[in-house]
Chains A and B, each alone.
Chain A
């Protein structure tokens, strides 16, 4: 019987060792794929409300949102491009296809405007003017038109909007070129109170 040269045995056991370590690193068992859009989206309702209509001031409403915007945002969380407290950790658990399904699901739900937010009427009035001047072009109908493929503004929750605007200003969240330009323009002319007034406006009424 021919003996294997030592070198080949060594290579063989090295390969075996390598495949074992590869398995240890990837020891997650295979899971069942193919969850439906409603199954996937219902997992979000614990935080974002039933059908994605939120009752909580720091958690945004998803119901009725543009599918393109939701998908883009989720992919941003998944890649880490958009900062978050918790969404980055969760978004990584979904495939891009699953995120598309959720986008379509939430786009079909009825938008429910945030209710009962305390608003400073004077600031909101000033904010309405600022919106008209700096934002309306892309966020038409005060940011309520889902077909703009941007997130809701009017009727969205105040704390959530404020947190996002803080992240945009700190450059933690990257704005599109157009939006960055408009924000800079507005900031030059109106200072930090401009942002505050805008948020008051978006938080007012429906």
Chain B
């Protein structure tokens, strides 16, 4: 016998409603996790990534020894964390002899692993190592630009995947309206070899150019690193199709016209009345006629009987 479980208070209910599937979704949140072992470099990388996304990210600090994203059964607790923290972007760092400075980017769909890309981090420079005028520092939560450079992003399958992954991880919220004053950062990803992407994060300076379009200038603010593609896992065809489904457009309003004199006018179609399918109730007047007729007949016959006597 199953029982109904509902939140006990309004706050909890509101929180759950936030997690519900929606037509227009909230921005994706990122969860950052450590493996059994992480190097100093990886710790710094994860901290920096969290710093970049700290309005839309959750960072766990404990070691996780049962997470192996690419192995079956190893994604169990990853999916659990994704469910509990309502995050659909995953960054998982681990360090081993076989795969040093390993970073796994992943996405979930319906809190199940959707796809994964594994990269190694090389030539890492942290945010702290950059010295620049702090007034150029990008503000938290602004929507970044992206620049992808290099043919390998199109020709090499792994990099193509990584490009999509990086875009999804760092694009920020999907917005319709953008405040132009909030344009202040760019992610630059260059494919320097078929396996390596040089990624850096820069601030944008808008300079006067004499026209309405400002001149762009880049100031590197870090972090920057080389990402060497290792393993990856693409979504299955059916799952991809399912996840790419777009909400249907709202139906066009038909037969309604608006003009200032008449106001709002609608044309209404009235279908044929199907008598055979009408909902019947017990007290339909038409049905009583039989009774009335019977009564009348009775009286009539009485009168007739009286008359001959």
Partners in one complex: no
Residues of B within 8 A of A (CB): none
Residues of A within 8 A of B (CB): none
